[in-house]
Every structure is written in C-alpha cells, then in structure tokens.
Structure 1
Amino acid sequence: MKRLAHRLLAVAIVSTLAAQAQAEVALDVIGDYEVSFEGLVQADGNWFNNDVVDLNGSSGNDGKDSEFEMRRAELVLKGKGTMFDWVLGYDAKANKYLDVNLKWKLGSNYVQVGQFKQVNSLEELSSTKNNDFISKAMVTNTFAVGRRVGVAYGDGGKNWGYTANVFGREMTRNLGQGQGFGGRFYYAPIVDADSTLHFGISAVDYDTNNDTQRWRIRPDADLATARLIDTGNILNADRNRTYGLEGLWASGPFKVQAEYMRTTTTRTGNSTAADFTGDSWYVSGVWNITGESWGYKGGTPTTPLPNDPAAGMWQVGVRYDDANLTDGSIRGGDEHNITVGVNWYWRSNVKIMANYVAVKSSKYNSALAADLSDDPNIFETRLQFFW
C-alpha cells in the first residue's frame, strides 16, 4: 500500500508540474459533479539547540541536533455538485486517510457524513497549507480532536454559523479513538472587504481509550521526538471534556488570532483519584508586508494569493503560546513558547517558511524533588508545494 501510494504521489506531482500553475487541477465534469484534484507536499527541517532533554535523541542517538523529514504528502479528490459535495483524501507520507465524506447541502444548512475535522479549534479548521507557523500551537496539537468518523449538522450565514456533531474513531486504525459529541458556534459582527472581527465558542465530550489518558506536548516542533511536559498515564480515566474560546481580528494585511482551551479528564465512578484539568492558549499576529488583505469564509480566515505572483507574498508573524499540564498530584509541567516566523508564497503553488522558537518549560523531577527548567531553542524550515 505504501509503495503504491508513493508511486501515485510521484505521478501526481509530475503531472501537476507539467500543467499550468493553479490552486487545483480540474479533471472533468461527471454527471452533476465538477471533479478536481488537489495535493500538498511539505518537507521540513528542524535544528535543535538542546538544553536538558535531547529533543531528537530517540531517533537513533546519532549525535546530530537536526532532523529532516517529509512532513505531508496529501492527495485529495473532490466533487462539487448542486445538492451534494464529496471528498476523498489520503496522506501517502503518514499512510492515513484525511477527509473522506459526503455533504448534503440543504440551502444554508447541511448534513455531513464520513470522516472530517471536528469543530473545536479555529486553527485546526483552517487550511493546513496556509498555516501561519510551521507547527500548530500547543493548544491545537494537544486538545483539538482532529479528524474522526461521524455525522454533523450545520447552518450559517455571512456573519454566523454553528455545527453540532457526533463522532467515533478515526478511519485509519490505531489512531484517534473515543466516541463523543461536540459543537461550535461563531459570530462575526464585522465582515467586509477590509475588516473582520470574529468570536467563537466550542465544546467536545468524548470517551477515553481503555480508561487511560495521557496529555503531552511537543515544543512547537513537529520533528521533535521528546516532549518537555507530560502528564504520564492518567489511570481510571472516563471522559475528556474540552471547552474552547476563539477570537480573530483582521484589517487589510494585518491579522491577530487567539484561542484558549480547558480540558478536564474525569475519572471512573470507582476511582478515588481526583479529576485532572489542564489548559492551553495562544495569541498570534501576522502581517502581509506586500499588502495583501486577509479573507474570511465559513468561520475561518482565508489567506490571499500574491498581488504580484512573480514577486510573491511575504509575511512576518509572531506567536506566544502557553500550556499547563499540572493539576494536584499530576505534575505534568508548564511551557511558554515564543515563535517568530517569515513566510514567502510564490505564485499559486510554492511556499517557503522559516521559524525560530524560544522555549521555556518547567516540570517536576522526582529525583531532585523540585521543578526542573528546560529552555531549548529551535530553528525550523519548510518547503511546500501545493495545487
């Protein structure tokens, strides 16, 4: 399966490079459906200036402080019709299914069946190819549920929308598990050609896997093999309940975005241990220094194409994010990161990113009987091709 997927990926890239550069490749009109093909290929490099923990030490202990890896190799087939839309997505790098679903459009509302992203994260719902930073924020990587198989109902207009859904496990086996339900509501009191002001709330409640839950976070570096904060296994865990708040302001080339999530892991009725509560948040700002204005659609921001495709669009951004996994006897630790980044979108298909991450973390060390600080720095790059 992996070999076939890699061959399909190579054919897709070559055929797309031979075609005119565009955001997607229109294949045909079959019946009432406009069928198109999209893809995303990302290659990352991480360089670690370690402090205490070797952030890539478990990758062979080769003495190197760098990691290079193909991050994503996504292939997506889409069909758009009058009443129904469908999508079939697969990541050849991770060997897993992406969005695989059917959406029944009923005027302004819809019913969606299959695998899709759950609705408890503004950053997770935004397009991966247009992430402002190489790694999503700690709150997104930790508490966002991500893709699950389920059923959703939603409705909305230009300034508002809501979604309610039930879900089970991820389609690819041995990944996300736990049956649950959730919802999201957003309201944008300002949406015009130059400015957007958006607020949202979300909640999910789902079962743990085999009555065990573990919360741990990479330090805003997707290729790190170690985590600096970690609750360890929380036994007799029953359910996870996450509440989220989100906000967005965009004006011309400027965008400020923030999210906060608080998660409680409840214990089973026969457990004498206390429930665990952790939280995380971020605030970020991005400036399109070449002047392009941000867009807004369906409760998420949209990234513009370059005004001058030959010169491309340049962005600079900064993000502060925080996570706390200590509660009572569970001493998971806390972490505070600052990320600064530069992005260059060239024409419609190429993106180059560079990030610097300054990490400050603290976690209880039983041998020292005290909190131990670990403050590494990380430099990251990404080369991305999409169509």
Structure 2
Amino acid sequence: MKLSRNTLALALLGVLAAPAAHAEVAIDVIHDSEVSFEGLVQADANWYNEDKAFLGANSNDGVDHDFDMRRAELVLKGKGPGNYDWVLGYDAKANKWLDVNAKYKLGGDANKFIQIGQFKMPNSLEELSSTKNNDFIAKASITNTFGVSRRLGGQFSYGDTNWSVTGAYFERELTRNLAHGNGYGLRGTWAPINDGDNIVHLGLSYVDLDTDTDTIRLRARPLADLAGTRLVDTGATGIRNSDREAVLGLEGLWAHGPFKLQGEYMKASVDRYDTGFAAQPGSSFDADGYYISGVWNITGEKFGYKAGVPTTPLPANPASGMFQLGLRYDHIDLDDGSLTPGATPTSAPTVNGVLGGRQNAWTIGANWYWHSNFKFMLNYVKVDSSRYIGKTSATYSADPALNNKTFNAVVDDNPDIIEARVQFYW
C-alpha cells in the first residue's frame, strides 16, 4: 500500500476545498461497534543555513532546502461492543502501520485496561502525546533517538485520573524490516495537583530490549525531520558487540492555565559482550540527553491532562483560532570515550570507546490552530554540535574546501534552520 506524492497532494487539496470538517467522521454502527474515521496530513518545508555539513535530504545536490509530505495518516476507530475499543491506523507517506490493536477496559474504566496489538510503548511523555498537537515541528532529540515507539505486544495499565502504572511486553514492529528486538517497558505517573487550572505531572519509565543484532547505531538529526544528515552519530559500524539496550526516562510537567512547562531526561545504556575487539571492548556504552520547553497559549485557552499526558485545547474562538508561542532547549550526548594523541604530531589519535558527538539546540516556535482542523507551524532552530570526525568525508560540503578531507579532529558544526508545517486533521 503506497500513495504517490501527487495523490497525497490532490487529497489534501480536496479536503481543504471541502466544507469545514469535524474532529472525527462517524461512519456507522457495525456489529455494536461505533466506527469512525480520522486522518492527519502534514506538509513540511525546511530551509538550511549550513555551517559545514550538507543537510539536504538528497546528498550533495546543492539544494539548501527541502519540501515534502511528512505524514498522511488514515485511522479507523471503533468503540464497542461493550468495553472493547479497537483501532486500525496506516501512514500512507511512510508506508507503515500505526496503531493496530484492541483494548478491553476493565469495568468500562478508560484508566484500567488490557491492550493487545501494535501501540506506543509506555515511555516518553512527548512520544505518547498526540502527534497532531506536537508543540514543535520536530520532536526532541532524545525522543527520536532513545524512545521506543510502536511495537507489537501486550500491555496492562491500572490507575485513575491522577496516577497510573503500565507494563508492556513487545516484539518487532508490525511493518516488516522496521524496528525489531523483543523487550519490556514500564511507566508510572503521578499528578499530585490536577484541579483544572493547575497541573503537576511526574513520571518515570524504563525500557529494556534486545538489540537483535551485534551492532546498534544511535544518531540524531539537527531537529529537522527532512534533513538527510545527522550531526551526531555513533557511526555506520555502530556500537559493536551490543547485546541489550536499556533506557531510563524521567519526565515532568507543570501547566497553569494557558502556560505549560515540560521536560524530560533519558539515559540509554547498551550492554556489550567482550569478543577481544580492542577498540570497543565488552564494557557498556552510555548516552543521555534532555529537553525543557515552555508553551504559551496567547489567546488564553487552558491546557488539559488525560491518561498521563497533557492535552491541547481547541480554539476558544474557532474563526480566529488559537495562537501559541514556544521555546525549547534540547541536548543530546552520544560520547562515551576519549582520544589518545598519536605518536607524532601528524599521526591520527586513537579513539577509546565510542565518540558519537554532542548536540545542543534552541527552538523558537509559533503555532496557529485555525478552526478545529487546521494548524500552521513556524520554527527557528539554532544548532551547536561537536563530533570527532576521523575519516575522509564527502558530507562536509557546505564549504567546498572541506570536500573529501581527512579530519582526524573534533569538528564543530553550528547551522541554523527555518521550518514550516501545514497540517490538516479530522
């Protein structure tokens, strides 16, 4: 199942030309199940002001911007029969399955359930939040690098409106040749304050999974989803001798009326077995990162809270819409090692461990939710990265003098990027 860009573009134009839609299209009641149809279409644009590395999606084509469809999600949902809910989702742009699962609510309580199928794993506050209401165009570096998203498996969750405990066991993704490796995930949340005007949320998660190969690669884009280059990267050969990866996550949220402050910290640890390979012995590899962000609904709408994640309100005045301003600081560190100087001033240093690099970024964003179905986003991203480059590289081509140069040095790369998104959802 695959749709062309032209087909997706025509579909988007069609829905834009149609009368105002609702948040969800009811289809019918089929075998005591209330069936509805939802969709999400996103089109992105990135403009790069490169420092050293070429960032475009097509390597070294000289174009310093990208335009592409980001998502085209089509989702069928059913409520019932009884305490059962089900969902069947597909992303036509990425050509992959989304949520495909069935849920049984214990006693009809949405906070107590058993779920089987493919679903988001219980980790990462940002990943578990609704994609259509992301505060920024690109998710934080730790969310995309360390977080475990949708996998096939089963989970059990128990709690109420102010707390929850969730455990899951998972295998690979439903779509072939994507993420794989079995494991388990745990997440606990607590909202000591949740009175409608003030929300305080605390969360702790832990995921442990089999890397399913002897090599794992961790890397992050420069907070631009369309970029083809990762400025921090543990390398094509990855982290060798890998056995299992564990990710610990800490999360916090404070919302007061139209203001929301949110942050997460994640630490990933890769266990490795010793095969005598001197450059990467059988010691563990550790990487971590965090983000902290603030969002203000200028038009005054209050943030909400449901099922352990924040919720974004609809515009109080649909005709004029809801306006937001946001600011985020993002940090990721993929270095776990050191450099030993060469025997002579001109000889290359020796890498001890893995040096994937460090990246910091500021993102300033403005969002406009218009009516109940449209969203327009504009972000400015300033990146500050540093990584040891010890080989001949043709990717550092923003400056022609750096083409095919053997670096054997720590390279600072500090681009800035402008991003825009147009979104339609129902």
TM-score of the aligned structures, taking structure 1 as reference length: 0.96
Distance change >3 Å, CA 16–CA 337, structure 1 → 2: closer
Out of 274, 291, 315, the position equivalent to 2:283 is: 274
Report deviation, 1:14: 3.9
Aligned to 2:252: 247
Aligned to 1:180: 183
Aligned to 2:63: 64
Find out whether 1:375 has 2:414 as its counterpart.
Answer: yes
Structure 2 contact 59–228 (Cα < 8 Å) conserved: no
Q: Give the counterpart letter for 1:293 in structure 2.
A: K
Structure 2 contact 139–223 (Cα < 8 Å) conserved: yes
Aligned to 1:22: 22
Equivalent residue runs for 1:114-125 within 5 Å: 114-125=117-128
Distance change >3 Å, CA 207–CA 183, structure 1 → 2: same
Distance in 1, Cα, partners of 2:321 & 2:215: 48
Tell me the SS of whatever aligns to 1:2: coil
Distance in 1, Cα, partners of 2:291 & 2:11: 39
Structure 1 contact 9–75 (Cα < 8 Å) conserved: no
Distance in 2, Cα, partners of 1:20 & 1:317: 27
Structure 1 contact 296–302 (Cα < 8 Å) conserved: yes
Aligned to 2:398: none
In the TM superposition, what whole-angstrom CA distance separates every residue of 1:107-142 from its partner, at most 9, and x where no partner exists?
242110000011110000000000000000001010
Q: Give the counterpart letter for 2:76 in structure 1.
A: L
TM-score of the aligned structures, taking structure 2 as reference length: 0.87
Find out whether 1:362 has 2:386 as its counterpart.
Answer: yes
Distance in 2, Cα, partners of 1:362 & 1:15: 44
Distance in 2, Cα, partners of 1:317 & 1:259: 16
Considering only CA atoms, is the larger Rg found in Structure 1 or Structure 2?
2
Question: Which ranges of structure 2 fall in alignment gaps of 5 or more residues?
Answer: 338-352, 391-405
Out of 157, 160, 164, the position equivalent to 1:157 is: 160
Tell me the SS of whatever aligns to 1:174: coil
Aligned residues: 386
Out of 357, 369, 394, the position equivalent to 1:345 is: 369
Distance in 2, Cα, partners of 1:8 & 1:49: 29
Aligned to 1:212: 215
Distance in 1, Cα, partners of 2:320 & 2:9: 28
Equivalent residue runs for 1:28-177 within 5 Å: 28-56=28-56, 59=58, 61-81=60-80, 82-107=82-107, 108=109, 109-177=112-180
Q: Give the counterpart letter for 1:345 in structure 2.
A: Y
Out of 234, 245, 250, the position equivalent to 2:239 is: 234
Out of 320, 338, 355, the position equivalent to 1:331 is: 355
Q: Give the counterpart letter for 2:31 in structure 1.
A: G
Distance in 1, Cα, partners of 2:410 & 2:8: 50
Q: Give the counterpart letter for 1:161 in structure 2.
A: S
Tell me the SS of whatever aligns to 1:149: strand
Tell me the SS of whatever aligns to 2:142: helix
Distance in 1, Cα, partners of 2:284 & 2:212: 16
Tell me the SS of whatever aligns to 2:126: helix
Distance change >3 Å, CA 314–CA 219, structure 1 → 2: same
Distance change >3 Å, CA 263–CA 330, structure 1 → 2: same
Tell me the SS of whatever aligns to 1:78: strand
Report deviation, 1:4: 9.1
Report deviation, 1:6: 8.1
Report deviation, 1:32: 2.3
Distance in 2, Cα, partners of 1:352 & 1:260: 28
Distance in 2, Cα, partners of 1:257 & 1:59: 34
Distance in 1, Cα, partners of 2:5 & 2:327: 36
